[in-house]
Amino acid sequence: MNALEKAIQKAGSIRKLGAMIGVSGMAVSNWKTHCKGIVPANRVLAIHQVTGILPHDLRPDIYPNPTDALPAHREHAA
């Protein structure tokens, strides 16, 4: 299971994840199927905020370190 699939599972469904981050369920479905689970860079932090999935797990090419994009107080928890 990739990070996007984990985020979908935490949200409850593709449609619910989309609603939580302000996109359609169809957009999320497209990322899952046609984009092979690659989340657009401008949606990574929103998904992290609503699901807790680390930006590093969603897009390691953009966030190469596990603590990248996390507030300083959360870095130690990751």
31-65: pLDDT as tens digits: 999 999 999 999 999 999 999 999 999 999 999 99
CATH of the domain at 70: 1.10.260.40
What is the DSSP-derived secondary structure letter of residue 66? T
Domain that holds residue 49: 3-75
Listed in sequence order, the residues at least 6 apart from 47 whose beta carbon sits closer than 8 Å to its beta carbon are 4, 7, 17, 21, 39, 53, 58
Q: How confident is the model at residue 74 (pLDDT cuts 50, 70, 90)?
A: low
Give the chain's domain count.
Answer: 1
pTM to 2 decimal places: 0.87
Q: Please give the sequence-ordered ranges of beta strands (E in DSSP) within the chain, or none if there are none.
A: none
Residue type at 35 in one-letter notation: C
